[in-house]
Chain A
Amino acid sequence: MRVEQALRLLPNLEALLPLRGLLLSSARPDARVQWGSGGPYLTVGKRDVEPGELARSMGRVLTVVTEHINALFGAYIEALECQERNDAPGAAAALVGAGRLEEGVGRLSQAHAWYDVALALAETLQDRRPEVETLLAIGHVCLALGQYAEGARHYQRALVLAEAEFDRGRAVDASMGLGDAAFERAEWIGARAWYSRALRLSDAANDRLRLGQIEHRLGLLDRREGDLAAAGEHLRRARAAFEGLDAAGTARDMARVLDAQGDLDAALGRPGPAAGAFREALAWVRRDQHDPALDVSIRLHLAELLLETGRWLEADEEMRRAEQLAITSNQPRGLVRIYTALGTLRGRQGDETGFVFFEQAIALCRAFEGPAVDEARVFYAYGLFRQVSGSPDEARAHLERARDIFRSLGVDVEVERVETALRSSHDVNTAVGGAG
């Protein structure tokens, strides 16, 4: 049975999300389809799933779910016990811990709910540190959910409180969070101001880990603003900061820096060093506890580099490797990005059937309730694809949908980008109408 058929038989209930995840991770391609003419368009929906195999894997999944629920219940009991001993900060910490557990398995809205309860409790305390901790956690999850304005609001409160408490470390975290929120909304001046403030504070504390992380963010910022030389310098400093630390503990940070370096080299027109940086980033990902989401992300960047340099076959192969990893490690968000990229690749090749990838990406966004920003990005890319494939009405509908979502998230720069595409779509329509 095909995954798309199996998903149709599964109601959209929160409690069944682990089963959805299991369906995804046990999907296998049918060898006939793989080598058939449908092979290049194979998506997870067209993979096969065997009920017997699902049944056999169910025990393993239920164990993981049970362990997760056990840990949540445990955190809750701990919060109750702390309350009974009048240890409200302990209770708040236990509730935040539960939220982190939810966040760790990608249940972002649920994590938010735990943090909200923790915050309500922390706000009643004289000791403001639990409140700071909780506000930072909410800020983080808000950004992951694409709720940038709300995230910034929480980070702002955390910063004020941390400074009042003379807690330099938390003040750095809050400043970085504020920088991230501004960065996501493409508010470059604001992002730079917050990162620079975090940098000054970390420098004073000689906190090399955070220094490296901020230098990395400043590198990304300069890259987005087009100052490639400055970006390179920040990334070099970030790398130097991490190199002095325990290698295993900073493997992910190092991988992220190398990923950014690859992107920078690509922008500088140096595909060889760029590919080398991406490969080294992948090697770093393997050093620590494997992070499949980061692995998928780096592979996608590598594929995009190959796509830009016209190496379509290799780009396709790299995307397919990322797809396989995203499927087996149950990364629906990663799959959404991969299918968007594959659709874009087919668009470049002038292949109209490439629309199946966008449709699959949209179906995944809905089935797994990802952040709205993911869906907006798919609609934007789909709109561009339809523009090129000569379906202006459909292109406009997708672009308008993307614009509305970006607007609701307050990402003005993205709204402007979509508006530009809509204007060009309108110009094409007018020209076609005029010619007719």
Chain B
Amino acid sequence: MSRTVTRPTQSTTNGFAPPARAATGGVRVLAVGGESGPGPLQSLRQWAPDLAIDLEWAADLPRATRLLAGGHWDLVLAVLGDRSDEELTWWVDALRAAHGGTRLIALADRPSMGLALRAEKLGVLDVLALPLKREALASTLARVRSAATEVALPLPPPEADYDTEGHYALVGQSPAMLEVYKLMARVANSTATVLILGESGTGKEVVARTIHQHGPAAAGAFVAVNCAAIPENLLESELFGHEKGAFTGAVARKIGRFEQAAGGTLFLDEIADMSLALQAKILRAVQEREIERVGGGESIPVTVRLIAATNRDLHDAITHGRFREDLYYRLAVVTIQLPRLIDRGDDLLLLIGHFARQFGTRYGKRIESLSDRALELLRNHQWVGNVRELRNVIERAAIVVADGTLRSEHLPDELRAEEPGVPERSRGGLPTLAEAEARHIARVLSHTGGQIGSAAEILGIHRNTLTRKMKEYGL
């Protein structure tokens, strides 16, 4: 292992790393690659003084792991070998686990467009071709340094009248949420069945809990069942219970969730994930207000308030014969549609403040501000997982934040990959048609979770054409 320490050529007041991290104030770089010597990174030593980087070198991954564990690094420059995809994933995993937001620059012989797109999706700072060019590296370093000029903005204070129970809180003042609050207030005092619709992570269970707390059954239990999580063959016994010996494994009588919720509220989440046979049994329970345990012949009366929720289009499910229309009308006595996070405007900031406080307390941190760049990234994100995704992002950030300000470096790689500064990989800063097409295909595939059929449908091309293009672009 060799070490080259260089002094920066100019003041590092605006340098990337806080002064405590690097003795010289430069960007601390760990270069990794080559079994027998720095090889393609040889020239890096010569450029180090001009580029103001503190450079260390590790020959292989195990040595690099030891060095990474031993101190703070701003950047890792890793030479990828033949299994570049696997190595890239390993690096992303390893750096994600390392504290301090170390960024990765991957170096590869003739990097394919597929590799570049995957790297971008994983939040890798850049993929550079070998032999390494000084200008390319300098340009990437300039982006790193510009990220250091983040301005801290104070987080909004907590709303005075959060409707909370434990970890659950309805936070937001956007017009879309005000409509939801009004509807909730109207239905809470009744025992009407409620159907809550909304994308994943919009807070359907929080709304259900709040309705329960403010309703006539508030003294009773709130029992939530996630129909999508429970294996189909167990869902019936989970909901209705079973008698001893009803099936293999039924070692004792089990009281189902309907009975557990007697006098309270039963929340059936992801109700569209239920089989038609089970839907018929739910319909009977709603209509007759009685149930039968699996393997039992006795009808048991149940008094529960039912709240159901789904992220699916129930009308579409009815049209395709996957959901019973009669059950839909029984459930949808009152329907509440929850807005997507991106449609909630400044609620985003209120939610960030709320979660930062919540997780700050949990992890013993005092998070009081948010950097302008972090806010920009959070605002630009698409939030397919809505509030749940935001909560997850802020929790992860709260774990790694050190000085009370949540910065872009604390955000997950996926978000940082959306930084507007990510350069195109062709001359002149503009993508070629093929690059743009490859990026769009990658985006759509990501959206469909890799389902080629659905992606082809969205793109409006035949699946065979899509498969060919994926092969062509190395996706």
Contacts and interface: CB of A to CB of B under 8 A. Distances in A.
B251 A30 contact: no
A430 interface: no
Interface stretch (A175-183, A185-193, A277-285, A417-425): A277-285
B61 interface: yes
Contacts of B463: 52
Contact of B399 (A38, A286, A313): A313
A50 B451 CA distance: 8
Interface stretch (B20-28, B62-70, B147-155): B62-70
A41 B226 contact: yes
15 contacts: A4-B232, A31-B448, A35-B386, A36-B228, A36-B269, A39-B385, A41-B228, A272-B69, A280-B65, A280-B69, A283-B64, A287-B62, A313-B396, A356-B231, A359-B231
Contact of B200 (A32, A318, A353): A32
A34 B385 CA distance: 8
B270 A393 contact: no
Given A37-B204, A276-B69, A32 B311 contact: yes
A353 B225 CA distance: 8
A46 interface: yes
A5 B232 contact: yes
A29 interface: yes
Contact of A356 (B69, B204, B230, B273): B230
B419 interface: no
Nearest to A51: B453
Contacts of A30: 449
Contacts of A359: 231, 234
Given A30-B449, A286-B87, A313-B399, A38 B226 contact: yes
Contact of B251 (A36, A275, A397): A397
Contacts of B64: 283
Contacts, number: 144
Contacts of A29: 449
A320 to B, nearest CB: 11
Contact of A283 (B90, B226, B232, B249): B90
B453 A52 contact: yes
Secondary structure of the A contact surface, majority rule: helix
A129 interface: no
B5 to A, nearest CB: 24
Given A5-B232, A394-B251, 16 more contacts: A31-B449, A34-B449, A36-B228, A36-B388, A37-B205, A38-B269, A280-B62, A282-B90, A286-B86, A286-B87, A287-B60, A290-B83, A311-B399, A313-B399, A314-B399, A394-B254
B450 interface: yes
A352 to B, nearest CB: 10
Contacts of B60: 283, 287
Contacts of A356: 229-231
A37 B61 contact: no
Contacts of A37: 200, 204-205, 226, 228-229, 269-270, 388
B447 interface: yes
Of B61, B64, B83, B386, most buried by chain A (CB within 10 Å of CB) is: B61
A15 B42 CA distance: 54
Contacts of B448: 31
A397 B270 contact: no
A315 to B, nearest CB: 12
A115 to B, nearest CB: 33
B62 A283 contact: yes
B93 interface: yes
A340 to B, nearest CB: 16
Contacts of A32: 199-200, 311-312
A38 B86 contact: no
Interface string B199-224: 11100110000000000000000000
B236 interface: no
A353 B230 contact: yes
B32 to A, nearest CB: 10
A33 B90 contact: no
A306 to B, nearest CB: 9
Nearest to B205: A37
Interface string A127-169: 0000000000000000000000000000000000000000000
A279 B63 CA distance: 11
Contacts of A279: 65, 68-69, 94, 97
Interface in B382-430: 384-386, 388-389, 395-396, 399
Interface string B229-250: 1111010000000000000010
A370 B125 CA distance: 42
Interface of A: 2, 4-5, 28-42, 45-46, 48, 50, 52-53, 56, 254, 272, 275-276, 279-280, 282-284, 286-287, 290, 311, 313-314, 318, 321, 353, 356, 359-360, 363, 391, 393-394, 396-397
Nearest to A295: B90
Contact of B389 (A35, A393, A394): A35
A73 B269 CA distance: 53
Contacts of B87: 286
Nearest to A45: B231
Contacts of B201: 35-36
Nearest to B228: A38
Nearest to A38: B228
A394 B238 CA distance: 14
A394 B396 CA distance: 36
A363 B233 CA distance: 11
B452 A286 contact: no
Contacts of A254: 62
A38 B205 CA distance: 11
Contacts of B312: 32
B433 interface: no
B252 interface: yes
Nearest 7 CB-CB pairings of A with B = A35-B385, A41-B229, A38-B228, A393-B252, A283-B61, A36-B200, A276-B69
B54 to A, nearest CB: 21
Contacts of A318: 97
B4 to A, nearest CB: 23
A50 B385 contact: no
Given A28-B449, A48-B451, A393-B252, A276 B66 contact: yes
Contact of B229 (A5, A35, A353): A353
A254 B61 CA distance: 13
Contacts of A276: 65-66, 69
Task: Tell me which of A39, A279, A280 has the highest count of chain B C-beta atoms within 10 A of its own C-beta.
Answer: A279
Nearest to A31: B449
